[in-house]
Every structure is written in structure tokens, then in C-alpha cells.
Chains A and B, each alone.
Chain A
Amino acid sequence: MKKIKLIIGVLVMVVFTVSCQKFLTVNPKTEMTGDALFSSEQGFVSALAGVYIQMKEDAAYGKALTMTTMEHLISSWDVTASTTDQKLGLFQYDDAGVETSLANIFLQQYKIIAGINIILANVDSKKAVFSPGNYELIKGECLALRAYVHFDLLRLFGPVPANATNANLLAYVKTVSKIANPHISVDAYKTELLNDLSAAEALLKDTDPFIKYSVADFKSGTYKSESEIANYRYLHMNYYAVKALQARAYLWFGDNSKAYDAAKTVIDAQNTSAGAKFKLGTAADFAAKDYVLTNEHIFALYDFALSTKYTRNFASGNIRKGTNATTINTQLYENTGTDIREANLWEAISQGSVNSYILKKYQSPDIVTSLLEDYKQIPLLRISEMYFIAIETAPDAEAQTLWNTFRASRNLVAASLSTDPVQKKLEIIKEYRKEFYGEGQGFYAYKRINAPKASIVFVPATATVDYTPPIPKTETTNN
């Protein structure tokens, strides 16, 4: 009797414990667990697409980091008194509204990073699910995107490079977990960032179809891969974007020769069918209504809603600079009269009694018949910036040649570039401001050289320039 009981007991226990874990593992239908998602290449591609979607959201590069918050910091737009927008321009970082808008950027950026990290956490163990080359593409893109986003966090919240303290400021996050991430020094941060970029470079160098094929090849369908990840590489964090980001980062960290090498790689990049991979925009592009100069894009985010966004924010007059051309032409472009940007990129509109001078950069037809006419792109890296980097870091003669090339493309008369490094930098910074108006790069440009107030175009007289916003409380108080 006792034996029987014992046997029954043992059997029940065995059944209970063994079958339990499996039985108790459930898979939701409207959601997916990580195990289910990352069991196929398609899952990885979808996760990566999710990262790009999050990048193009308004809280990140879809608006705050390109068109609004970052531009308000350097007073690119007209503002109403005592709004958050105005306080951003006055560098009033203790204002609640300013704090919230910067904290939202901070959280969104790390949310993007979490999305990248969850892919990287699975990509090595699931290497077998990929068709040839795609493992490298996905992993490379993820590593490079992680560096891209982290770098922008550093440029915004980190110290001015010139007087960099080595305080532990930001976390370079490489895992997804509920454990708080350690804040590391700028040096350690830099090492992590550059490591991610070199790892990405090594992975993409031989696999990225962008090396062989041109943007036109992707657009026209001359190159069409079975793997969706290999198509439309100009909309992905591709090999050249890695090089371009390296150029940008080395310049920030003061390693001019490496910055020069990287920038030159991108400038000199040729398509197999000859011709430069990325061309400086000219009057012809503006004539074709390609205001955002897609030929210059090394890496851009595609945004379906860009025309709607343009209508709602720019064409409505919500985002404007002045009521007519005067402010922009005199203060920004210095009344050259020839600059194609001055002549084409802006428009005076009036709604009822309200006149506005608006930026047309993001104007693009909503419906197009050919991808070649589809300009709904938000540029994150452009060839003109590579020219600027090379001009700043190249020997004087070469710098002058590149300067001439750039000025010619913008229909500006040739001018000699100062050989005084400080003067030269200030001259280039002016060009950054003209070139990347509404792209969110101006603030970083000023911050990198710790530009004095006098060099910042449009800075309000009452502002006290402060390039280092504090780390948001959402990071510091919950840590």
C-alpha cells in the first residue's frame, strides 16, 4: 500500500515538474515574444525596421532632433514670448518646459538604443537563420546606429570638446535590462563609440551592396535583392554612413587626420559605373524641386508623412523666420544675391493678415510616379558635411580646392579661405548654419568649437550661451 502511494506520489511529482515549464510558457497572438520574433531573418529585419520607425518619430529625428527643438536652441525660428521654444533659445535649462522637451529626446534616443540592443542580443546566437551576407548587414547597421544615436546624445548632453571634463555623465548602453546602466567618462564613451563604428565598418565593408551600386541603381530597380534589407541602402545606416559618422566623430574628438581620411573616403567614393557616389547639390536640383538635395544624402530617413508634416508645420507658417526675406537674406546668407539656397530654399507666404518667411527644404510632392522624384527624406548625413570636415582638416591647398568646389556648387563666387585655423573654423561654421538649417546640426557645430555668442547667428541679445544642458532628471533621480 505504502509503496503504491509512494510510486503514485513520485510519478505525480515528476509529471508536475517536467511538463510544467513547457505548459506554462504561453505565446500571445497579438504580440510576439523575442524567441518567436528572432527565429527568422524576417523577424530581425522587422525589428530593425522598427528601429528606423522610432528614429523617424517626432520625438527623435522626425522632428525634435532635426526641425524643432535642436533648431530652437539656436533661435532658428520666430518664437512667442515665454514659450518653451523661446526659453530653449535663451538656454534656460531649468525651465520645466525645456526640461521636458529635452528629457523626451533623451528617453526616445535610449528607447531607440534599446530596440537596437535587443537585436544585437540575439543576432549572434541566431546566426544560422540568415541568408549569406545578411547577418553582416544587420549586425553592422545595428552597431553603427547604436553609435549614431549615442553620438548625438553626447553632442547634446555631453561637454564642449575643447574643455571636456572627464566626468561620468552618460551611459553607453549595450544591453536591454532592468538594471541601471553605469555612467561612464567621456573617454570611455568615446572608446565604446569608436569600437562600435569599427566593428560596423568591418562587417559592412564587403557586404554592403551600396559599395557596388548607386542610389539610382536602387531606385530604378537595377539592383533588386531577394532580401529586403539589401535594397534601398541609402535609407539605411550603410557603409558610407559609417565612414561619414567616423569623420564626424573624429572631428569632434579632435583627431583631425582620421577625420580627414574618413571624409575623403566618402567624397572620393565612386560608383562602379563611374561617377561620384554622392554629388553636391546644384541649381539644377532645386529646379527639379529636390529642395532637400537627395543626391547629397549619405544616409537619410524616409518619412511617408513628410509632405503632411511640411504642410502642418512649415506651410502653415507655424515654423517661420521673419515675415519676409530680409532677416534670412541679410543675417544668414549675407545678401550674396547668387547663393542658390538664398534664392530657392525660402518662400514668403501670407495667410490672411499674417506674413511668414518659411523654409521649403522639406517640401516634396506627396504622390510621385517614380522613386527618382521621391524626395520625402530627412537627411542624417550629407556629403556637404564631408566637404566641410575635409576643408577643416586638409592641408591649406587642398582645403582651398575643396572650398572652391563647394562654393561653386552653391553658385557663390570663389573666395580664398583663411589659413588661420580659428578664422577658418568660424568661416566653415557659418556655412554649417546655412547648409543645415532645419536639420538640427547647427547647435552641434557651434558647440564643437565653443563658438562665442557673437558668432551665433540669430542668438537673442538677452541669452547667456550655455552649450551643456543638464542630464534630465528622469535619468538622474531614478538611478
Chain B
Amino acid sequence: MEQFGNRNLIVSLRNIDPSFNIIENNATGSDPNRLPDIQIRGNSSLPNINNLDEIVGLNTPLIILDGFQSTLRKMLDININDVESVTILKDAAATAIYGSRGANGVVVINTKLPKQGALKVSYRGDLSVEVADLSDYNLLGAREKLELENKVGLYNNPLVERDVQLKKYYNFLLNDVNSGVNTNWLEIPLRTGVGHRHNINLSGGAQAFRYSVSAQLNNTQGVMKGSGRNVFNGAVNLSYILKNVRFNNQLMISEGKSTESPYGSFSDYAKMNPYWKAYDDKGNALKFVGDPSNNLFQSRWQSLPTSPLYNASLNGFDKTRVSEIINNTSLQWSILKGLQFRAQFGINKLTQQSDRFRPANHTAFANYATADLFRKGDYAYGISNGLGYDGSLNLQYTQTFHLKHTLFAGVDYNIRQSQSSLNSFLAEGFTNPNADFMSMALQYAKDQKPGGSESLIRSVGLTGNINYIFDNRFFADASIRMDGSSQFGKNNRIAPFGSLGLGWNLHNESFLKHIKQIDRLKLRGSLGTTGSQNFSAYQALSTFQYYTNDRYFNLNGVYLMGIGNDDLKWQQTLKSNVGIDAEFFNSRLRLTADYYKSVTNNLLSSISLPASNGFSSYVENVGKMSNQGFELKTTGFIISKPADRLFWSMSLGLIHNVNKIIETSQALKDVQKNRQMQTGDVFYPLFFEGYSTTAIWAVPSLGIDPSNGKEVYLDLNGNPTYIWSGTNLRAVGDANPNVLGNVSTMVRYKSFTFNAVFGYRFGGQLYNQTLISKVENADYKYNVDARVYDQRWQKPGDKVFFKGLMVTGATSRTSRFVQDENTLTCQNISLQYEPRAENIRKLLGVQNLLVMVSASDPFRFSSIRQERGILYPFSKQFFLSLNVTF
């Protein structure tokens, strides 16, 4: 695992299995406090009309930690050293036992159980160095920027007195440039983040009683100054075995603190003009930039722009504290030979507190009126609590009859409740700049009330499964699960899920047995249904809410929030899968291939109602979506010389997925009409029948007319036009690549192991947001992409990619900015040194030693040039790790 990455479990897993797809978020880059978006085998849910931008959250896979449902955040923070195994379940047979929760795939994480033996102590330390990757930023320098401003006429005005002012201001700026001002704003908020991680583990015990204790301190320092994540993980694992009863208890606590960079959003620096000074002569951060210390600027700026850097010099903060306690208890009782009973109970308690303080002189309050002087400075406080229970009873029976027949049967009963609440409020008026304590506020925020939300979800499930193996040649398994959840309508709360699987070990057949080259050849297929639960807790209910800001004379009122749906039922995904597992030449070549198709029926979506029903829509099961594709993973040992301790292996992972929306509700179509017609540099995913959820919708473009610098579009009838209209949008590309995957190689020679993982994506498209927002629709008041300067149309006859500098009117979604994306990323490189145990023991007196250096995301090639990491830059990370066992 560690050879595949050192950032966190999520990234390592992606590097090993590309089907665990992290969707790159261009806005938040490598922000250590931001949860990644994960998807397995495509999107299986569509968002509803009121949350069109939240498709990702709906498709997050289920995460099971030691048998209980867990979260993506836990997966980010978990102590990798405690993890024994991670399995990604994708097909119907594997996910069916998770029934209503398995549609998006399941990640099963098991932590290490204590092992018998003398007290063993191991330590692992990592040192990480993180640097920002700004290779995709291409901004103008001070002189060019000022010249551009002049060219587009920012310093001209028909009114003579204004014109004179503007010219004077221009000269002031030019003077600064001539004196050498050329601030690289991008570098200012960045740093080289040096983080460290320490892990210590004790374990041991006798046959009957075993224990393990681990503690980890993980300090991550992001590349934006001051942003970081500090997590402490502790775990105590006890197990006690008495005759045929095994008792196990595991306690995990984690305490995390994350801080957001006081420097704010990275985009605020990217837009700063390089001809502005960042500091005054004494080296203090300036509050206002481009200040000529008189009123000259007024023709250009109403009020001078503020510097984001100034806020970083104040004592504000933005931090979140998370503490989590998980306790899992299990009891295993071998009743008879082959019959086993298991009871499990887990509790999970989570507290999260967020604090954000901005002192009175923060630039956010710079434009407050005099009357609001005492409202300057604010403190936002939020606290959320979560408590979950999860219990299960399980009975398993295994028996082999007449040597050839093996039967395995099991019943599982599971019950869950999860409850969460959030309360928040905002206080304002911090007149004393050093007072950062909430009670120092003068008052609560004007015209605001406390915020918050709450949810309670309960579900029960009963699963039965049966496996049968004949002669180690034929396999059959079937499972059925009854699932109930409070999230669905009262007439359809309980729904059945099930699966059927078959397998055939060809290599055990007489006709193949004698072929030496084939070590394993298994055919398998499965079919089943699963559901998905990533929906709001109370969507099926007709509920009333109190008017909090209105009443009727002497009476408080309530109103009906919407029409509930007692018949609302589970969204069901029918998954089918055929695959092959093969091993050849003494297992030197391994191959796993799968072809799958999944169809989600009964998608939850709003249905429009006639106005006379009093509400415009309600939630119903309507809509259908499919995903199909294949996955291939192959590993070959090119060199395998155990005698010389030399090994070389290569592996390739390849995924192809096609997503298609088959049916959507009318309400979804209607609500998207607005988004379709919007102009400017907006870009929305649109969900239309017959197309993928990741399709890129833009108006086809014929390029720039060399005679006048205007863009020529194609309308739906194929006629050229200068007029952009949302009705002419077409699917001109797909962000989902044709193939994606990874290639990795490992060389081991004696005590050294070298490992490299490359990820690739081919055949997809991207809508290049930089070209539109930083070039064509660029706001010349602020810094822009260098391509504005030299690649735009200027005079008749210019055959260029960008429209004329002076062609007014914002460019809207056009196919001109849809570009092919072919990307190769080096995801991880590592070199490990692990001397032979006996040598070490003699030399250093330790049991085991391992030293590793690694780099994550060190380089990347892409056919597309767009700014990456808008709000937070992407980073490269380098590690030095040491692992010692005493």
C-alpha cells in the first residue's frame, strides 16, 4: 500500500485501482481540508431540480469500516498503518449484501486484529515536503499588463478632465513599473509545506488474550501558508478467546484540527495586477493597492481595490475541530462445527466545531457605512453533533458433504440509526482588534437568526445468502436482502434486493488441468439489484414548518412545505457483470477482466403538478440511467529470479465507462431550460435524455471571422450565425475519457524496491474555463492570462483563435473552448530500502527496518492548458519515511 502513495488512504487506493476514481476538482486543488469526490463505475444517480450541482455527493460509494458504515472523511484521516486490507466491491454479487446502500459500489476497510506473540513495538515516521504546482498558470507581467490596459482603453475618456486624470494615473503606474515593480502575487501566499507523521504501535499477547495499541500524529501542511490539518489517531484493540467464544473490542478515537489559510482564496492573488506593490517601504502589507496617495485613481476605481494579503497580516482565523469516537464490539461463538454466530455493535460519535473570526480592519468591512462602524468584525461559530448506532446479528453455516459439495449459508440482521444536528450563528462588532473571543462581540449579526439543520435516518436490513461449490469447479451463490429505511414513503419503506452469481473454475476441469501454462482460469458472472441512500432524510414526508419571520396578528403560523409521497420507493440499480480471472506461467502473468452493465431505475426526481394542486412539484420515482463498460487489470512479472533476489513487474489497469441518461422527469427538463439559456462564462452540467451526465453542452463554433473578429456559430439547422442562443446548445464533448487507468512498474533488487505509478486519461474533452474567464471574457481591470496579449484578433485578415479585443459582449458556452484532454500524470514514485532482517538484528538490534523516499504527483503532461487549482493550488509532495520494529 505505502509504495503506491503516501498522501492518504484515498489517494493510495486510487493509485492501486483506477476504478476507484477520484474526480479531480479544479477549484480546490490539493487543499488538505477538502474531501475528494469519489466515483466507482460511473454516476448512478441524478440530482433533483433543487440541487442540480450536487451530482457527486449522490454517487459517493459506501464505506464500510470493520463492518460498520463510515465516512469519506474517516477514510481520509484513518491511520494507514492500522489498515489490514481494503477491498473495492463493484459487481452485483459483492454489493448485494449491502442491499439498499450498495449501488455506488462499496469500499470495505478492515483494520488489523491483534496478533499473538511477545510484545512488539514498531515506529514509523514520515517527513513530507509539499510544493505548489503552478506550471499551468500563464499570467501577464507588469509592463505587458499595463500596456494591455492602455490598449483596451482603460485610460481614455471622452471627458477631457477625466481623460487628464486617467493619463496621470497611468503615468503613476508606469512610473512604478519603470522603477521595477513586478510583483509575483502567486508566490506570496505559498510556501513549502513541511509536514510530519509519527506512528507507534504496540501489540502482543497470549492465545487467550491479545492486544494492540496504536497512536498516530499526522501533521499535514498545505502549500498555502497557514493551511493545514493536524490529526491524532489512537486505537486500542483487545481480543479475548475463551473456548469457542471470541470477544473483540476496538476503540478508535481521533482528534483533528484543520485550519484554512488566512491568506484566503488563491484566485484573489491570481487576479492581482503585477504592477501593484504588495508591501509598503517598511515591509508591511498594504491594505489598498495602486494608491497614488491622492484622488487620481477615482476615474479608474470608485474605491481602491484591497489587497488580500492585508487580511493575512491580521489576527483572524478559520478553523475546524473534529473529534470522533468509534467503538466496535463483536462476539463470535462457534456453536457447532461449521455453525457460527456473531453479534456486533458499533457506536460512532462525532463532534465538529468551526470557528471563523475576522477582525474589524478586515477588508470585508472596508466599505461599511459610518453608521455600521460598530458592526465591523465578525465571528461565525458552528457546532455539529452526530451519533450513530449500528448493530448486527449474524449466523453462518459451512459444511462439506461427500468431499465434493461445499455449502455455505448465512443470515444477517442489521439495524442502524444515525442522527446529526448542526447549529450555527454569527456575531459581529469586534471593535478591539485583539479580541478574538466570541463573547467580545457587541451583538449578534444584524437581521439574522441562528442557523442549523437536523436529520435522523433509521434503517433495518435482513440478509440471507447461500453459496455452493461443487468439486471446486462450479460455484453458485445467491443472496436476498430485505431493507427498510425511514427515508422513503410509508407504503414503500421495505424493499427486497437480491443477487445471483455463477462461477466456473476451468482450470480444474480435466481438459485444461494438464496444460501447465494455465494456473488459473475462472469465468464468473453475476446479476443483482442494489439501492442507494445518499438522499435527504425527510424527502418522503409532507411536513409543516413554522413561519419564523412572520405571523398573523396575534397568531403564529405554519405552512405545508410540499406534497410528500407515501409511495416513494428505493432507487434500484440492476447490475450485471461477467468476468474472467486468469493466471498463466506460474502466476507470472495475471489478468482480470470484467464487462459490466448497470441500469438504475426509479431515479428520484421531481414531477411537475398542475398549479391547482397548490404545489409545482413533488418527488417521485421517475427516470432511468445506465452505465456500461469494461475493466481490465493485468500484472506481469517480466523478470523473476528469486535466487538473485531480482524481480521486475509491470501492471496495467484500464477502464472504459459509458454513461447514458435514458429518461428524466419533465420537471428536470423544465428547470434546466433556464440554465441552457444563460449567457456569459457560466458552465453547467446539463442532464438530457440520450446523453451522458458528463456531456459538455456548448454551441458549435466555426471559429473567428477573420474579417471582423466576431465568432461564427452554427445553429441547430446547421446555418452559420453571429448570434449565440442557448437553444443551439449541443453535446460537443464528454468530460468522461474514453479510457482511463494506470500503468505501474516495480523493480526489486535485493533490499531495494522501486515503484512508479502513472495515471492516464485519453479521449475525453474539457471545457477550458481559463480561456473564457481569463482570456475572452477577461476583466481587464485585473490580471489575465498571457494569451490575451498576443493571440486575439486585432485587424481584418487575422486568423486567430480568440475574438477581437474590442468585440464587446461576453462569450458564452462555445465549442471553441472545448478541447481534447489527454493527460498522463505521474501519481507516485517510490524507492524503498529494506535490509534483510537477520543483518539488521545483529547490527542495530531491531527486528525490522524500512526506509523509503517517495514523490506524489511529481509531474504531469496534458494536452490542455488551463489554470489548475483556482481557489487552492495543486501540489507535488515528497516523502521520507522510516519504519522500525523492535
Check A16/B482 contact, CB under 8 A, given A28-B454, A28-B538, A49-B556: yes
Quick check: B484 and A24 within 8 Å, CB to CB?
yes
Quick check: A111 and B558 within 8 Å, CB to CB?
no
Residue A472 is within 8 A (CB to CB) of chain B in the complex: yes
Total CB contacts across the A-B interface at under 8 A: 187
Taking each of A9, A16, A472, which has the highest tally of chain B beta carbons within 10 Å of its own beta carbon?
A16
| Residue in A46, A107, A113 whose CB lies within 8 Å of B557 | A46
Rounded to whole angstroms, the CA-CA distance of A105 and B544 in the bound complex is 22
Quick check: B541 and A33 within 8 Å, CB to CB?
yes
Instruction: Write out the residue numbers on chain A whose beta carbons fall within 8 Å of the beta carbon of B415.
Output: 23
Residue B554 is within 8 A (CB to CB) of chain A in the complex: yes
The 9 closest A-B pairs by CB, nearest first: A114-B614, A49-B555, A50-B557, A49-B557, A31-B543, A52-B552, A474-B611, A49-B552, A302-B553
Residue A335 is within 8 A (CB to CB) of chain B in the complex: no
Instruction: Write out the residue numbers on chain A whose beta carbons fall within 8 Å of the beta carbon of B486.
Output: 23-26
Quick check: B545 and A30 within 8 Å, CB to CB?
yes
Check A107/B543 contact, CB under 8 A, given A118-B560, A474-B616: no
Taking chain B's interface residues, is the majority helix, strand, or loop, or is none over half, making it mixed? strand
| Residue in B421, B544, B546, B613 whose CB lies within 8 Å of A173 | B613
Instruction: Write out the residue numbers on chain A whose beta carbons fall within 8 Å of the beta carbon of B482.
Output: 16
Taking each of A20, A27, A113, which has the highest tally of chain B beta carbons within 10 Å of its own beta carbon?
A20
Q: Could you give, for residues 598-621 of chain B, a 1 whenever the CB lies within 8 Å of some chain A CB and a 0 otherwise?
A: 000000000111111111101010
Instruction: Write out the residue numbers on chain B whose beta carbons fall within 8 Å of the beta carbon of A171.
Output: 610, 612
Quick check: B558 and A8 within 8 Å, CB to CB?
no
Residue A56 is within 8 A (CB to CB) of chain B in the complex: yes
A119 CB to closest chain B CB (Å) equals: 10
Rounded to whole angstroms, the CA-CA distance of A114 and B486 in the bound complex is 25
Rounded to whole angstroms, the CA-CA distance of A49 and B546 in the bound complex is 10
Rounded to whole angstroms, the CA-CA distance of A229 and B883 in the bound complex is 75
Rounded to whole angstroms, the CA-CA distance of A401 and B614 in the bound complex is 45
Residue A29 is within 8 A (CB to CB) of chain B in the complex: yes
Q: Could you give, for residues 71-114 of chain A, a 1 whenever the CB lies within 8 Å of some chain B CB and a 0 otherwise?
A: 00000000000000000000000000000000100110011111
Residue A307 is within 8 A (CB to CB) of chain B in the complex: no
Instruction: Write out the residue numbers on chain A whose beta carbons fall within 8 Å of the beta carbon of B554.
Output: 228, 231-232
Check A478/B557 contact, CB under 8 A, given A24-B459, A53-B551: no
Rounded to whole angstroms, the CA-CA distance of A23 and B484 in the bound complex is 10
Check A235/B553 contact, CB under 8 A, given A9-B411, A115-B560: yes
Quick check: A475 and B544 within 8 Å, CB to CB?
no
- Of residues 556 through 573 on chain B, the ones whose CB sits less than 8 Å from some CB of chain A are 556-561, 563, 565
Taking each of B485, B563, B618, which has the highest tally of chain A beta carbons within 10 Å of its own beta carbon?
B563
| Residue in B395, B460, B609 whose CB lies within 8 Å of A20 | B460
Residue A12 is within 8 A (CB to CB) of chain B in the complex: yes
Quick check: A46 and B558 within 8 Å, CB to CB?
yes
Q: Could you give, for residues 654-671 of chain B, a 1 whenever the CB lies within 8 Å of some chain A CB and a 0 otherwise?
A: 000000000000100000
Taking each of A12, A49, A114, which has the highest tally of chain B beta carbons within 10 Å of its own beta carbon?
A49
Residue B462 is within 8 A (CB to CB) of chain A in the complex: yes
Of A176-184, A342-350, A415-423, the stretch lying at the interface with chain B is: A176-184
Rounded to whole angstroms, the CA-CA distance of A54 and B413 in the bound complex is 47
Residue A21 is within 8 A (CB to CB) of chain B in the complex: yes
Residue B490 is within 8 A (CB to CB) of chain A in the complex: yes
Nearest residue, chain A, Cβ from B566: A178
B304 CB to closest chain A CB (Å) equals: 31
- Of residues 433 through 479 on chain A, the ones whose CB sits less than 8 Å from some CB of chain B are 472, 474-476, 478-479
Rounded to whole angstroms, the CA-CA distance of A27 and B413 in the bound complex is 24
Residue A47 is within 8 A (CB to CB) of chain B in the complex: yes
- Of residues 101 through 137 on chain A, the ones whose CB sits less than 8 Å from some CB of chain B are 103, 106-107, 110-115, 117-118
Check A111/B413 contact, CB under 8 A, given A29-B454, A49-B555, A232-B553: no
Residue B542 is within 8 A (CB to CB) of chain A in the complex: yes
A227 CB to closest chain B CB (Å) equals: 11
Rounded to whole angstroms, the CA-CA distance of A479 and B613 in the bound complex is 10
Q: List 18 A-B contacts (CB under 8 A).
A: A24-B458, A24-B485, A25-B490, A26-B538, A28-B456, A29-B421, A32-B545, A32-B546, A33-B544, A37-B558, A50-B544, A52-B552, A53-B552, A53-B557, A56-B552, A112-B614, A114-B614, A178-B609
Instruction: Write out the residue numbers on chain A whose beta carbons fall within 8 Å of the beta carbon of B550.
Output: 53, 304
Check A50/B547 contact, CB under 8 A, given A24-B485, A33-B542, A232-B554: yes
Q: Could you give, for residues 573-605 of chain B, a 1 whenever the CB lies within 8 Å of some chain A CB and a 0 otherwise?
A: 000000000000000000000000000000000
Rounded to whole angstroms, the CA-CA distance of A476 and B546 in the bound complex is 32
Residue B493 is within 8 A (CB to CB) of chain A in the complex: yes
B401 CB to closest chain A CB (Å) equals: 15
Rounded to whole angstroms, the CA-CA distance of A256 and B619 in the bound complex is 47
